[in-house]
Chain A
Amino acid sequence: MATIAYDRYDVKRGSSPIADDIAEAVEKLSRYIHKSYAGAEPLIRSELYELIEECSEPNWDGYEAAPVSRDSILAAKKFLLSLPLGTKLPSVGLLPSGNVTLEWQHSRRRSLTLSFSPESEIHYAALLGAGRQSGTEPFYGDVPATILNLLERIY
Protein backbone atom coordinates (compact mmCIF):
# COMPACT_ATOMS: atom_id res chain seq x y z
CA MET A 1 0.00 0.00 0.00
CA ALA A 2 1.27 3.48 -0.82
CA THR A 3 2.23 5.72 2.07
CA ILE A 4 0.89 9.21 2.47
CA ALA A 5 3.36 12.03 2.97
CA TYR A 6 2.11 15.14 4.72
CA ASP A 7 4.17 17.59 2.73
CA ARG A 8 2.69 20.73 4.26
CA TYR A 9 3.78 19.89 7.75
CA ASP A 10 6.88 17.77 7.69
CA VAL A 11 9.11 20.48 6.24
CA LYS A 12 8.78 22.95 9.11
CA ARG A 13 10.65 21.37 12.00
CA GLY A 14 11.61 23.76 14.76
CA SER A 15 15.00 24.38 16.28
CA SER A 16 14.03 23.48 19.86
CA PRO A 17 12.46 20.44 21.55
CA ILE A 18 9.23 22.41 22.14
CA ALA A 19 9.03 23.44 18.48
CA ASP A 20 9.57 19.81 17.48
CA ASP A 21 6.80 18.73 19.84
CA ILE A 22 4.44 21.29 18.30
CA ALA A 23 5.33 20.21 14.78
CA GLU A 24 4.73 16.59 15.72
CA ALA A 25 1.36 17.46 17.29
CA VAL A 26 0.30 19.38 14.16
CA GLU A 27 1.28 16.44 11.99
CA LYS A 28 -0.68 13.99 14.15
CA LEU A 29 -3.69 16.30 14.09
CA SER A 30 -3.62 16.66 10.32
CA ARG A 31 -3.41 12.88 9.90
CA TYR A 32 -6.37 12.48 12.24
CA ILE A 33 -8.44 15.08 10.42
CA HIS A 34 -7.80 13.67 6.98
CA LYS A 35 -8.46 10.10 8.10
CA SER A 36 -11.82 11.22 9.43
CA TYR A 37 -15.05 10.88 7.47
CA ALA A 38 -14.80 14.38 6.03
CA GLY A 39 -11.10 14.20 5.21
CA ALA A 40 -9.42 13.64 1.89
CA GLU A 41 -7.25 10.67 2.79
CA PRO A 42 -9.74 7.96 1.78
CA LEU A 43 -10.14 9.64 -1.62
CA ILE A 44 -6.37 9.83 -2.05
CA ARG A 45 -5.90 6.18 -1.08
CA SER A 46 -8.62 4.95 -3.40
CA GLU A 47 -9.14 7.07 -6.51
CA LEU A 48 -5.91 9.07 -6.74
CA TYR A 49 -3.54 6.14 -6.30
CA GLU A 50 -5.75 4.01 -8.53
CA LEU A 51 -4.62 6.26 -11.38
CA ILE A 52 -1.08 4.94 -10.98
CA GLU A 53 -2.27 1.35 -11.23
CA GLU A 54 -4.64 1.86 -14.15
CA CYS A 55 -3.29 4.77 -16.20
CA SER A 56 0.51 4.54 -16.14
CA GLU A 57 0.66 3.28 -19.70
CA PRO A 58 -0.18 5.32 -22.83
CA ASN A 59 -3.62 4.90 -24.42
CA TRP A 60 -5.50 4.29 -21.17
CA ASP A 61 -8.54 5.97 -22.77
CA GLY A 62 -8.43 4.26 -26.16
CA TYR A 63 -7.62 7.62 -27.81
CA GLU A 64 -3.80 7.61 -27.42
CA ALA A 65 -3.76 9.49 -24.10
CA ALA A 66 -0.47 10.16 -22.32
CA PRO A 67 0.31 8.24 -19.10
CA VAL A 68 -0.70 9.87 -15.83
CA SER A 69 1.84 12.43 -14.60
CA ARG A 70 3.22 11.58 -11.16
CA ASP A 71 3.94 15.27 -10.50
CA SER A 72 0.31 16.01 -11.26
CA ILE A 73 -0.78 13.30 -8.80
CA LEU A 74 1.44 14.82 -6.10
CA ALA A 75 0.01 18.29 -6.77
CA ALA A 76 -3.57 17.00 -6.58
CA LYS A 77 -2.77 15.20 -3.33
CA LYS A 78 -1.25 18.33 -1.83
CA PHE A 79 -4.31 20.31 -2.93
CA LEU A 80 -6.75 17.83 -1.38
CA LEU A 81 -4.88 17.91 1.93
CA SER A 82 -4.97 21.72 1.84
CA LEU A 83 -8.73 22.02 1.43
CA PRO A 84 -10.60 23.53 4.38
CA LEU A 85 -12.10 20.86 6.62
CA GLY A 86 -15.68 20.12 5.63
CA THR A 87 -15.20 20.91 1.94
CA LYS A 88 -17.25 18.54 -0.20
CA LEU A 89 -14.92 16.02 -1.80
CA PRO A 90 -14.55 16.02 -5.60
CA SER A 91 -14.42 13.18 -8.07
CA VAL A 92 -11.02 12.31 -9.48
CA GLY A 93 -10.36 12.22 -13.21
CA LEU A 94 -7.58 12.27 -15.75
CA LEU A 95 -6.99 14.22 -18.96
CA PRO A 96 -5.45 12.90 -22.19
CA SER A 97 -2.42 15.07 -21.37
CA GLY A 98 -1.82 12.96 -18.24
CA ASN A 99 -2.90 15.74 -15.87
CA VAL A 100 -5.09 14.80 -12.92
CA THR A 101 -8.44 16.56 -12.54
CA LEU A 102 -10.73 17.14 -9.58
CA GLU A 103 -14.37 17.91 -10.27
CA TRP A 104 -17.21 19.20 -8.14
CA GLN A 105 -20.64 18.91 -9.76
CA HIS A 106 -23.77 20.32 -8.22
CA SER A 107 -25.74 20.11 -11.46
CA ARG A 108 -24.92 19.91 -15.15
CA ARG A 109 -24.57 23.69 -15.40
CA ARG A 110 -23.05 24.26 -12.00
CA SER A 111 -19.69 22.53 -11.73
CA LEU A 112 -15.98 23.18 -11.30
CA THR A 113 -13.10 21.27 -12.86
CA LEU A 114 -9.46 21.71 -11.84
CA SER A 115 -6.49 20.33 -13.74
CA PHE A 116 -3.08 20.00 -12.06
CA SER A 117 -0.12 20.60 -14.31
CA PRO A 118 3.35 19.28 -13.42
CA GLU A 119 4.50 22.94 -13.54
CA SER A 120 2.72 23.84 -10.26
CA GLU A 121 -0.28 25.39 -11.97
CA ILE A 122 -3.97 24.77 -11.57
CA HIS A 123 -6.09 25.24 -14.68
CA TYR A 124 -9.73 25.73 -13.78
CA ALA A 125 -13.07 26.00 -15.56
CA ALA A 126 -16.44 26.53 -13.96
CA LEU A 127 -20.00 26.52 -15.23
CA LEU A 128 -22.01 28.86 -13.01
CA GLY A 129 -25.53 28.60 -14.31
CA ALA A 130 -25.70 30.98 -17.25
CA GLY A 131 -22.19 32.26 -16.52
CA ARG A 132 -18.81 30.65 -16.75
CA GLN A 133 -15.25 31.35 -15.60
CA SER A 134 -11.87 29.87 -16.43
CA GLY A 135 -8.22 30.61 -15.85
CA THR A 136 -4.94 29.47 -14.36
CA GLU A 137 -3.54 29.94 -10.85
CA PRO A 138 -0.12 29.07 -9.44
CA PHE A 139 -0.18 26.40 -6.74
CA TYR A 140 2.50 26.11 -4.08
CA GLY A 141 0.54 24.40 -1.32
CA ASP A 142 -2.26 26.76 -0.32
CA VAL A 143 -5.60 26.63 -2.11
CA PRO A 144 -5.87 29.81 -4.24
CA ALA A 145 -8.59 32.23 -3.15
CA THR A 146 -10.09 32.16 -6.64
CA ILE A 147 -10.69 28.43 -6.35
CA LEU A 148 -12.21 28.71 -2.87
CA ASN A 149 -14.54 31.43 -4.15
CA LEU A 150 -15.65 29.26 -7.07
CA LEU A 151 -16.29 26.31 -4.76
CA GLU A 152 -18.60 28.48 -2.68
CA ARG A 153 -20.48 29.54 -5.81
CA ILE A 154 -20.96 25.99 -7.06
CA TYR A 155 -22.95 24.86 -4.02
Chain B
Amino acid sequence: MLDPENLPEVEPDERTARFIVDKRHLNRSTIPPTVKANAYMPRKNEEGVSITRLVQITADEVWAIGMAMAANRNPPRKLKGRSDVLAATFQGQGLEVKPVAVDGNPNHAEACGWPSLESDQLMIAKEIAAVAKFVAAPEV
Protein backbone atom coordinates (compact mmCIF):
# COMPACT_ATOMS: atom_id res chain seq x y z
CA MET B 1 0.00 0.00 0.00
CA LEU B 2 1.01 3.66 -0.31
CA ASP B 3 3.26 5.31 2.24
CA PRO B 4 0.95 7.62 4.22
CA GLU B 5 3.90 9.93 4.91
CA ASN B 6 4.63 10.35 1.23
CA LEU B 7 1.40 10.28 -0.74
CA PRO B 8 1.73 10.93 -4.47
CA GLU B 9 -0.80 13.10 -6.26
CA VAL B 10 -3.64 11.22 -7.95
CA GLU B 11 -2.95 10.67 -11.63
CA PRO B 12 -5.85 10.71 -14.15
CA ASP B 13 -5.10 7.18 -15.32
CA GLU B 14 -5.24 5.69 -11.80
CA ARG B 15 -8.06 3.25 -11.16
CA THR B 16 -10.18 3.91 -8.09
CA ALA B 17 -12.68 1.75 -6.23
CA ARG B 18 -15.86 2.65 -4.37
CA PHE B 19 -17.00 -0.17 -2.11
CA ILE B 20 -20.62 -1.28 -2.45
CA VAL B 21 -22.29 -2.43 0.73
CA ASP B 22 -25.97 -1.75 0.05
CA LYS B 23 -27.84 -3.83 -2.53
CA ARG B 24 -29.81 -0.76 -3.58
CA HIS B 25 -26.65 0.72 -5.08
CA LEU B 26 -26.79 -1.90 -7.82
CA ASN B 27 -29.08 -2.41 -10.76
CA ARG B 28 -29.76 -6.08 -10.20
CA SER B 29 -31.93 -6.41 -13.29
CA THR B 30 -28.86 -6.30 -15.52
CA ILE B 31 -26.34 -9.12 -15.97
CA PRO B 32 -23.73 -8.43 -14.74
CA PRO B 33 -25.16 -5.88 -12.27
CA THR B 34 -24.41 -2.24 -12.98
CA VAL B 35 -23.78 0.47 -10.42
CA LYS B 36 -26.38 3.14 -9.71
CA ALA B 37 -25.64 6.84 -9.39
CA ASN B 38 -26.63 6.53 -5.73
CA ALA B 39 -23.33 4.79 -5.03
CA TYR B 40 -21.39 7.91 -6.01
CA MET B 41 -23.50 10.57 -4.29
CA PRO B 42 -21.93 12.68 -1.53
CA ARG B 43 -23.65 12.88 1.84
CA LYS B 44 -23.29 16.65 1.77
CA ASN B 45 -21.90 18.76 -1.05
CA GLU B 46 -19.06 20.06 1.11
CA GLU B 47 -17.93 16.50 1.79
CA GLY B 48 -16.05 14.29 -0.61
CA VAL B 49 -16.94 10.83 -1.86
CA SER B 50 -14.62 8.21 -0.37
CA ILE B 51 -12.69 6.06 -2.82
CA THR B 52 -9.64 3.81 -2.66
CA ARG B 53 -6.75 4.24 -5.08
CA LEU B 54 -5.84 0.99 -6.78
CA VAL B 55 -2.11 1.70 -6.94
CA GLN B 56 0.61 -0.13 -5.04
CA ILE B 57 -2.00 -2.36 -3.47
CA THR B 58 -2.77 -6.07 -3.86
CA ALA B 59 -6.21 -7.48 -4.60
CA ASP B 60 -6.30 -9.09 -1.16
CA GLU B 61 -5.52 -5.76 0.50
CA VAL B 62 -8.28 -4.01 -1.47
CA TRP B 63 -10.90 -6.57 -0.46
CA ALA B 64 -9.73 -6.55 3.16
CA ILE B 65 -10.34 -2.78 3.31
CA GLY B 66 -13.80 -3.19 1.77
CA MET B 67 -14.79 -6.03 4.07
CA ALA B 68 -13.70 -4.07 7.13
CA MET B 69 -15.88 -1.18 5.98
CA ALA B 70 -18.88 -3.47 5.44
CA ALA B 71 -18.40 -4.93 8.91
CA ASN B 72 -18.50 -1.38 10.29
CA ARG B 73 -21.87 -0.72 8.64
CA ASN B 74 -24.94 -0.32 10.86
CA PRO B 75 -26.02 -3.13 11.08
CA PRO B 76 -22.97 -5.02 9.70
CA ARG B 77 -23.44 -6.38 6.18
CA LYS B 78 -21.60 -8.47 3.66
CA LEU B 79 -19.58 -6.54 1.10
CA LYS B 80 -21.32 -6.73 -2.28
CA GLY B 81 -18.31 -5.66 -4.33
CA ARG B 82 -16.64 -2.57 -5.62
CA SER B 83 -17.18 -0.09 -8.41
CA ASP B 84 -14.08 0.83 -10.41
CA VAL B 85 -13.52 3.99 -12.48
CA LEU B 86 -10.46 5.96 -13.53
CA ALA B 87 -9.64 9.09 -11.54
CA ALA B 88 -10.05 10.93 -14.85
CA THR B 89 -13.77 10.12 -14.72
CA PHE B 90 -14.18 12.27 -11.61
CA GLN B 91 -11.89 14.96 -12.97
CA GLY B 92 -13.81 15.05 -16.25
CA GLN B 93 -16.93 15.96 -14.26
CA GLY B 94 -15.18 18.89 -12.60
CA LEU B 95 -14.34 17.09 -9.37
CA GLU B 96 -10.96 17.02 -7.68
CA VAL B 97 -9.49 13.77 -6.37
CA LYS B 98 -7.42 14.36 -3.25
CA PRO B 99 -5.26 11.77 -1.50
CA VAL B 100 -6.50 11.53 2.11
CA ALA B 101 -4.96 8.63 4.00
CA VAL B 102 -7.09 7.28 6.85
CA ASP B 103 -6.48 4.68 9.54
CA GLY B 104 -6.19 1.29 7.89
CA ASN B 105 -6.32 2.68 4.36
CA PRO B 106 -3.39 4.82 3.19
CA ASN B 107 -4.78 4.51 -0.35
CA HIS B 108 -7.94 6.37 0.64
CA ALA B 109 -8.84 9.43 -1.43
CA GLU B 110 -11.81 11.76 -1.75
CA ALA B 111 -13.60 13.09 -4.81
CA CYS B 112 -14.35 16.70 -3.82
CA GLY B 113 -15.87 19.85 -5.25
CA TRP B 114 -19.49 18.75 -5.63
CA PRO B 115 -22.10 21.32 -6.65
CA SER B 116 -24.67 22.29 -4.03
CA LEU B 117 -27.84 21.33 -5.93
CA GLU B 118 -28.89 17.71 -5.52
CA SER B 119 -30.01 17.51 -9.15
CA ASP B 120 -26.53 18.60 -10.30
CA GLN B 121 -24.94 16.07 -7.96
CA LEU B 122 -27.19 13.35 -9.37
CA MET B 123 -26.21 14.27 -12.92
CA ILE B 124 -22.50 13.96 -12.14
CA ALA B 125 -23.01 10.72 -10.21
CA LYS B 126 -24.97 9.27 -13.14
CA GLU B 127 -22.17 10.12 -15.56
CA ILE B 128 -19.65 8.39 -13.29
CA ALA B 129 -21.85 5.33 -12.71
CA ALA B 130 -22.48 5.02 -16.47
CA VAL B 131 -18.83 4.11 -17.06
CA ALA B 132 -18.15 2.30 -13.78
CA LYS B 133 -17.31 -1.38 -13.72
CA PHE B 134 -18.77 -3.49 -10.93
CA VAL B 135 -16.47 -6.16 -9.49
CA ALA B 136 -18.20 -8.66 -7.22
CA ALA B 137 -16.56 -9.39 -3.88
CA PRO B 138 -14.90 -12.79 -3.56
CA GLU B 139 -16.70 -15.41 -1.52
CA VAL B 140 -15.00 -15.94 1.84
Q: Is B25 a contact partner of A61 (Cβ separation < 8 A)?
A: yes
Q: Is B130 a contact partner of A127 (Cβ separation < 8 A)?
A: yes
Most chain B CB atoms below 10 A, which of A113, A117, A135: A113
Q: Is residue B69 contacting chain A, with contact meaning CB distance below 8 A?
A: yes
Nearest residue (CB) in B for A109 is: B130
Least Cβ–Cβ distance between A9 and chain B, in angstroms:
29
Given that A57-B75, A61-B73, A93-B36 are known contacts, is A115 also in contact with B24, CB under 8 Å in the complex? Answer: no
What 1/0 mask marks residues of chain A from 12 to 32 whose CB sits below 8 Å from any chain B CB?
A: 000000000000000000000
Q: How large is the interface on B (under 10, 10 to 19, 20 to 34, 35 or more residues)?
A: 35 or more
Contacts of A91 in B (CB 8 A): 24, 27-29, 36
Interface residues of chain A, those whose CB is within 8 Å of chain B, are 55, 57-66, 91-97, 99, 101, 103, 105, 108-109, 111, 113, 115, 117, 123-125, 127, 132, 134-136
List 11 A-B residue pairs with CB atoms under 8 Å apart, sorted by A's residue number.
Answer: A55-B22, A63-B69, A93-B36, A97-B44, A108-B34, A109-B130, A125-B37, A132-B126, A134-B122, A134-B123, A136-B117
What 17 new A-B contacts, CB under 8 Å, besides A92-B24, A93-B36, A113-B122?
Answer: A60-B73, A60-B74, A62-B22, A62-B70, A65-B43, A91-B29, A94-B24, A95-B118, A96-B41, A96-B42, A103-B27, A108-B130, A113-B38, A123-B119, A123-B122, A125-B122, A125-B126
